Structures are given as structure tokens and as C-alpha cells.
Chains A and B, each alone.
Chain A
Amino acid sequence: MDGEELTEQETALYDRQIRVWGANAQRRLTKSHILVSGIKGTVAEFCKNIVLAGVGSVTLMDDSLVNEEALNANFLIPPDENAYRGKTVAEICCDSLKDFNPMVLVSVEKGDLSARSTEFFEKFDVVVIGYGSLATKKAVNEKCRKLSKRVAFYTVDCRDSCGEIFVDLQDYKYTKKKLEEKVECELNFPSFQEAVSVPWKPIPRRTAKLYFAMRVIEVFEENEGRKHGQCSLLDLPTVLEIKKKLCEANTVSESHVPDSLLERLITGTIEFPPACAIVGGILAQEVIKAVSGKGEPLKNFFYYDAQDGKGVMENISNSFTS
């Protein structure tokens, strides 16, 4: 493999997980650089998981200031006003994360993610956008795709007790174990833009309703110029209007996206910590897979809903139409 051996210290610390994914995967992990933006509950969970796993570095982007909501599900922020006054969420989380594993380099990058040039993303192996706007997700995904190196791209979003993960690994090769043999596999991922513009009609009926509902909310927030989660029951008529238009444009009946689900998503603005732990755990697991090149990755959406308890993978691409 890549030459360098794990140090004695690393072997001792990571003993139990090396037994899960092997020393080679651990070596790859220690050399990976992860960019994370939008640090609310689910992303805080994700960061904890990858710092513990021992990635090379984590770069945090979130210039928002601490408020009541940020404190709710983000255990990286101590509830002491003196400790966080004048600091951004990223700065405070950075301090907490460093403490979890001194072998991981954690740092803060200020500024707006969507304003960054394509070259900026070249430094990273993985980019994770938490709670991003439709425009940001599209723009950053495009930039990552322009690079000559493959940057693994993820978005994650939690509303009420539901969560969505999107994965774009472009053309991705990995090994998986089939019986006792290792098999080389390859997958081709659609871009974010492609994945959210797939016509609804041919998508199989048993697909998670959350896929459609999340698209409706995304468009709503984009049209109204709202930040993530900046909505209430008062917005329901507008949201339903958007749903109607989208359903018509896709020639599906309006019952395709249940109103009750949309209502949950816009009113459940307080994060549900157990769902954050679950979605943040799945996301970290996927990033570890992608970095180590071991095991079949999620393609290309994951949905969790605490109400029915299911965590499902949905493969949504233009393959339905062709």
C-alpha cells in the first residue's frame, strides 16, 4: 500500500476498528481531508464520528453565531455563553472536535462556501454540505466535478425526525467481498443537478415519499429566499402551491407527495437528536467507505424517518427513463 505504516500509537487507538475495516483502510483514512459546512445536529454527529475514526483533517465552515437553536442538538457547543460569545459555530465546534482525537487536524475556514473557486475544493477528498440551499448544493457539486481528481460529494439534510443524504462519487471503483473472493466493482453516479431533475413519472411507486417532499421544500426555500428551516405552518399554502406545480409538471397526481409529510417538514424545525445520531452515523459510515474504497457505497440517496423507523437507500437517476 501507500508505504507508510501506522504508528504504534495509531494501532493501539484504532485497534477495534482496524479489526473491522483493516489496516489499509485505516491508512487511507489517516490521509484523507474532509470539508464540512453547515454544522447543525446531524453534521456535529458526523464530525464526531469521522474525527474518532481518525481521518487526516477536517475543515469546518459555518460562520453563523450560536443561538438557542444551535445549542439544541449540537453537543459540540458548550452551553456557556462566556465560552461562545463572539465566536462562530465552526470555531466553537473546532475546539470541541480537536479534543476528541489529537491525531486529527481540525481547522476553520471562514466565508461563503458557494463563493469558493473550483481550485479551493481540490485540497479535499470529501466535501459534505449540511443543510445547504439548492443553489449551493448545485454549484459546489459542479465545481467538484470539474476537478481532475475525484472528490466525493455529499449533502445531508434533516427536518423534523426525517433525514436525507445525497451521494455523488462520480465514476467510482471499489472492492467488495463476494463469498471469500474480493471483487472489483464500478458505479457511475449522476450529479446533484441530474439527480434532482429526474422526471417523477417513471420513478417506481414504492420510492420513499421523502425524495419528492424534499424537492418541494428545496424549491420553496429557493423561491422565497429562505434559509434552511426558516419556515412555519403559515407557509403551508405556498408549499402546497409549489407541490401542485411540480406534480403537474411531472404529470403525476398530487397525492404523490402527502400533504401531511410536507407539513411535518416545515413545522418540525427543532432537530430531533436521535434522528441526528442515526443520519450522522450513516453519513460517516459512507464517507469511511468512500475514502477506504471498501464496501458497496450508497447510491445515491438515503432516507430515514423515525416515524416508520425505516432507513432506505434509493437509486434515483435517469436510468428510469432510458
Chain B
Amino acid sequence: MDTQQQQQQSAIQGAKVLMVGAGGIGCELLKTLALSGFHDIHIIDMDTIEVSNLNRQFLFRRSHVGQSKAKVARDAVLRFRPHINIRSYHANVKNPEFDVDFFKQFDVVLNGLDNLDARRHVNRLCLAADVPLVESGTTGFLGQVTVHVKGKTECYECQTKPTPKTYPVCTITSTPTKFVHCIVWAKELLFAKLFGDKNQDNDLNVRANKAASSSKETEDVFERAEDEDIEQYGRKIYDHVFGYNIEAALSNEETWKNRRRPRPIYSKDVLPESLSQKNGSTQNCSATSVDDSATVSAMPLLGLKNPQELWGLTQNSLVFIEALKLFFAKRKKEIGHLTFDKDDQLAVEFVTAAANIRAESFGIPLHSLFEAKGIAGNIVHAVATTNAIVAGLIVIEAIKVLKKDADKYRMTYCLEHPSRKMLLMPVEPFEPNPSCYVCSKTPLVLEINTQKSKLRDLVDKIVKAKLGMNLPLIMHGASLLYEVGDDLDDIMVANYNSNLEKSLSELPSPVINGSILTVEDLQQELSCKINVKHREEFDEEKEPEGMVLSGWTQSPATKGESASTSNNESAVEVTESSSGPEIASKKRKLSETQPENHKRETENVESEDDDDLMEIENPMTVSKKKRVA
């Protein structure tokens, strides 16, 4: 072994590493770390093992389904490397016990996560603890690995990430044009209305109410009388949402001037008089002997086997009624608490059927259960090979980080098709974005109607949704307006709650044009300043939130070389400029400048799969950006 290899081995053996995520990438990563000689590995994952994990999360077996991923992964790796130390945590990385002090004990943190929220959270803790982070993600044959070292390379949030796709409310409720619109309707509105929390706001009847001008009546349709026959109830729902509601919508001629008119569908036109004699599910379902809620299924009762088969209107209608009946017959206790879950077979069947019937009504092509499940569950495509490759790349970067080989750090893209002959493309990392509110503490600008908007709007739409804070604290000067925590007394909680309902200008310390707010998350140890700018009007279509946050990316209008806080000219005052002279002197282009604000707030579709993410940047755009010299 030469000296270089010896150096490498001692760097590896002395290292204490934290892995976040024991899914697709995590399994591969833990194996490769152990083989490479890492001795001290801690691993956090809140998930349990599912059947659809087994095609790639090779440390898991069928017998492990339902158990903690972190623990089973640990046990499996200890079998071929019995003498190393692996500690597993079956927990959410956002739990308070994983604070800055916890992170400080590690030499490097390696992410194999599946969602933006957790990634941002870990990024902030790594910055606060000053621990390098190696970040990763895969989808299908595409993958990426990036290195984030405070002060040396950009942090995970230096570039805005594509936000989950959202759809305008009215497209979902009345004018769908794509199958995904029907899925969102079936999942978020109909399924939620029938089986979810009854107290939650639901737009399902918005349009119908207006047309029928009798909200009470329509409300009652979804209530099932105690002795009402389930099939009759199912048909009533069917006729209401696919027949009556469509009919009511059609009466508004204005809507259909430039659109294809939908066709109302009633159960009597599609289904025989009574289904019970033909395939009485309630009697028959002893066939599905185990009454485990995850295995209840309408498909076998209807003789449907192949999830990839396309069902016609009649089959979808049968599945709709049958699935609804099964929910009431077999899973009555869960009704009122259910949310859609891609691993819930009956829920997938119901949503597929409902979406297809609606699609039929609107002249949109129908889809198989397999396809519908992929859309409804936002299932990320995943294969073992990409995860294995990405895990190898993570370990290589981790070793460089441990050896402090800063000039050798690379972000690497796995491509499906070679680009300039390359399938694995290393790129020099970018320098930190001097206008990043996370790692450079540049103030943000918030345009808001300070007389109309409540503090609650600010907390929900900005502090939580946009800034990704978990346990926020909001201050105006020396006055504490809001905070979250277990250690607050009742008086404080009441005080904060009353603040939430006040408009900004009515707060004990009024927030008006020119005010500067300090927003902090104590767990993430992130603090940022927001310059408030009062604005009277907002475009309902483009700015539905009624407020616009800007500051850490350039707006499209101010393109060009200038970086830093250039689009803050509208800000009243820039209080703090903490970007170091070295960084400020360098210039940096950001290609992603899409404003996040002009989207309607109905749907927040986020990848919920167990590993693997979707945020692959186009390496072509990446190569144009400025890199660390």
C-alpha cells in the first residue's frame, strides 16, 4: 500500500459519518461505505420496508416488510462486516433530538433522501454545525451527486429548486383537460370528501353549489344515513358527481364557449339495475380471507387481474361502486381519517375508477390502474443500478471531503445518453451564491398588503411553505410576534394565537411599509431578515397568495452579470451584508429564475416515494454557470 492509499485509509477509518435515508440510495451507500473501510456510521430513516422497495433496496427481504429500514439495513451490513459500528435511528431527521450539536459530532453527512423538505432541513443543520454535506438523488437512469462545504461551495439552497407542480382550482373542479387533472380531482377532492376528514375545506361542490344555489342539499348527498344500502349510496354519489354536477356545470354556458362540453354520466345508463345478485361483494368478500386493510381489493371480485389493462366505462363504474362498498363494509372504522396512499390498493382502485369516469365524461383518454397509480402516488421511477452508481459517487466525494481535497470536489451527473461521450459527467462545484438567504444571510423582500394580510398568512405561506422553517420565531425589532415550541406557557400561546389573526399593521408592534422582520428557526439555527414592502393590489391569477417574496434569485427583469442583492432596489433598507469580500467580488450567474409565485394553491404534489428524487438539473444549463475557480 503506498502512502496515498495509507492516507486515504486512515482518513476513512478515523471518520464518523451520518447517513440520512436508508432507502434505494441508502442501502447501496451503507454497503459501499462498509466495504470501503468506514468504521463508524450512523443512519437515520423514519420509513418502514414495503414490497415495492425490494427490487432495489437489496438489504431487505420479504420477511422484513413493515420493519424499520435503518435497523434492517444495519443488521444486514453487519452480517458481512461484523466488526464495524453502525448505529440506526428509526426516526424523522427533523426531530428535535437531531439538533446542531448532534450534527457536530460527524465529519461528513451523506444524504439519500426523497424530498425537498428534509433536504433543506439537513442542509441548514450542516451549515449551522459546519459539517460538509454530500447530497444525492436519482430518478430512472438519471442521478446526481453534489458536495456542499460551507464557504467553499454553494449550499443546497443556493439555487431555487423546482417547486412541486400545482394546478389552478377551476381546472380541477370544472374544466379538466388532462388525465392528471382527473386524478387530482379523484384523489384530493372526491376521495378526501368521502373517506377523509369531513371538517376539511373541500372544493368538490363549489361549482355545483353555485349552480344549484342550495348548498345544504348538496352537502347532504355525501352523508350516508345509518340504514342506507351501500350500493344505493354509491349510486347516489356516482350520479351526483358524474351526472348532476356535470349537468349543473353545463348550465353555465360561459364556461363552455371555447371548450369541449362534458357529458353527464348516470349509473343507470352504465350499470345494470342491481349489482348485488351478480357479484355481491359483501357476501362474497370472505374470498379475501385476510381482512388486513391493505389487501382489501375490488379487482378480484370483478374478475380483473391485470393492473396494466385498460378498463372501459362499465368496468370503471363497477370498480367505483365495488370499491366504495368495500370501504364501508370492510374498513368502516377508517372512514373519516383516510388520506390517499399509493400503497393502499383499494384507495388506488377507487381513485383510478373515479378519475377514468371523469375522464370519459370530459373526453380525456382513459388510463390503466398501473398508470393511474403512478400519477396519483407521484411515484418516482427507480432502478437499482443508478442507485448503486450514485452511492459509489457519494463515497468518492466523501473521501475527498475527509482528506480536505477541496480542489478535487466534483458534482457528478449520471446521464441516460452520453453527452460529449460521457455517461458520468463530473463538473466543478459552484461557489456559494452571495444572495442565498440560507448560507449568505442576504435579506429577502416581501411585498404584502400589510393592512389586509394576517400574520397567519405570513407564517403559512412564507415562513413555512417558502422558507421551509420547522419551528419558526418571528421578531420585529425587539418585539416577539410569534414562536413555536414545547416550552411556551399558556399566556404566551394565547398571545401568539391572537397575533396570528391580526393583520400585520394591527400587531402590537405594527409591521408596515419599511419594517424589517427577523425570522428564525432555532433548530435549524437559520435566521434571515425580511424587508417588508406594502403593496395594495395583487393579481389574483398570477399572485394568488396575495404576497410576493423575492431576494435570493434574480428576477428575469434584472438578468445579467450582476449578482448579490441587485433586485433589492425596491427594498427600503438593506440592513446587513454578510457576504464576505472574497465572495462578493466574484460574480455568479443563475439560470433558474422562474418566479414561484404565479401558481394556484390547490395541489402540492410532492414526491412521497421512499428514496430517490426528481430534481435533476440539465447538465447543459449547468455547464454554462460560473464555477469555483
Contacts and interface: CB of A to CB of B under 8 A. Distances in A.
Contacts of A45: 388
A23 B308 contact: yes
A48 interface: yes
B2 A312 contact: no
A318 B425 CA distance: 27
Interface-centre pick from B54, B388, B410, B421 (highest chain A CB count, 10 A): B388
A77 B80 contact: yes
B391 A277 contact: yes
A14 B426 contact: no
Interface-centre pick from A45, A79, A101, A311 (highest chain B CB count, 10 A): A311
Contact of A278 (B51, B370, B389, B417): B389
B385 to A, nearest CB: 4
A11 interface: yes
A277 B392 CA distance: 6
Query: What is the size category of the interface that chain A forms with chain B?
Result: 35 or more
A288 interface: yes
Interface string A275-308: 1111011101100100000011010001010101
Given A17-B382, A52-B384, A306-B396, A270 B1 contact: yes
Interface string B398-433: 010000000000101000111001111110000000
Contact of B52 (A12, A296, A304): A12
Interface in A229-284: 267-268, 270, 272-278, 280-282, 284
Given A54-B55, A288-B385, A313-B421, A79 B28 contact: no
A15 interface: yes
Interface string A45-86: 100110011100000000000000000110101110000000
Contacts of A184: none
A284 B385 contact: yes
A282 to B, nearest CB: 7
B51 to A, nearest CB: 5
Interface in A22-60: 23, 41, 45, 48-49, 52-54
B379 A48 contact: no
Given A11-B307, A274-B396, A311 B424 contact: yes
Nearest to B611: A16
Contact of A282 (B35, B52, B58, B423): B423
B388 A281 contact: yes
A295 B416 contact: yes
A14 B141 CA distance: 15
B51 A302 contact: no
A311 B392 CA distance: 13
Contacts, number: 158
B423 A312 contact: yes
A171 interface: no
Contacts of A5: 306
A274 B395 contact: yes
B383 interface: yes
Interface residues of B, number: 57
Contacts of A54: 55
Contacts of A281: 385-386, 388-389, 392
A75 B35 contact: yes
B51 A285 contact: no
Contact of B55 (A13, A41, A302, A306): A13
B533 interface: no
Contacts of B416: 295
Interface string B30-64: 01101110000000000000011011101001100
A311 B386 contact: no
B58 A16 contact: no
B81 A309 contact: no
A276 B380 CA distance: 26
B624 interface: no
Contacts of B82: 79
Contacts of B392: 273-278, 281
A209 B384 CA distance: 30
A13 B61 contact: no
Contact of A52 (B56, B308, B412, B418): B56
Given A53-B384, A311-B423, A274 B410 contact: no
B257 interface: no
A30 B381 CA distance: 19
Contacts of A270: 1, 5
A19 B421 CA distance: 27
A95 interface: no
A298 B140 CA distance: 18
Given A19-B374, A77-B80, A282-B423, A273 B384 contact: no
B51 A53 contact: no
Interface-centre pick from A79, A274, A288, A308 (highest chain B CB count, 10 A): A274
Interface-centre pick from B35, B52, B62 (highest chain A CB count, 10 A): B35
Interface string B3-38: 001000000000000000000000010011011100
A44 B426 CA distance: 25
Given A13-B55, A23-B308, A309-B412, A53 B32 contact: no
B388 A313 contact: no
B305 interface: yes
A56 to B, nearest CB: 15
A310 interface: yes
Contacts of A72: 35
B381 A20 contact: yes
Given A49-B384, A278-B424, A302-B423, A16 B32 contact: no
B208 interface: no
A312 B422 contact: yes
Contact of B379 (A8, A16, A100, A298): A16
B165 to A, nearest CB: 18
Interface string A204-229: 00000000000000000000000000
A139 to B, nearest CB: 29
Nearest to B414: A311
Nearest to B140: A20
B382 A20 contact: yes
B421 A314 contact: yes
Interface string B318-329: 000000000000
Contacts of A100: 58
A142 interface: no
Interface in B585-612: 609
A309 B421 contact: no
B393 interface: yes
B36 A274 contact: yes
B268 interface: no
A122 B54 CA distance: 31
A46 to B, nearest CB: 9
A79 B81 contact: yes
A192 to B, nearest CB: 21
Going nearest first, the 10 A-B pairs with the smallest beta carbon separation are A311-B424, A309-B426, A277-B392, A273-B35, A281-B389, A278-B392, A274-B392, A281-B388, A274-B395, A16-B382
Given A79-B81, A270-B5, A285-B386, 17 more contacts: A13-B52, A16-B609, A20-B140, A20-B383, A48-B58, A48-B384, A54-B55, A100-B58, A273-B32, A274-B396, A278-B424, A285-B385, A295-B416, A308-B426, A309-B412, A311-B422, A312-B424
14 contacts: A16-B380, A99-B61, A273-B32, A273-B395, A277-B32, A277-B391, A277-B395, A278-B388, A281-B392, A285-B385, A295-B416, A298-B423, A309-B410, A313-B421
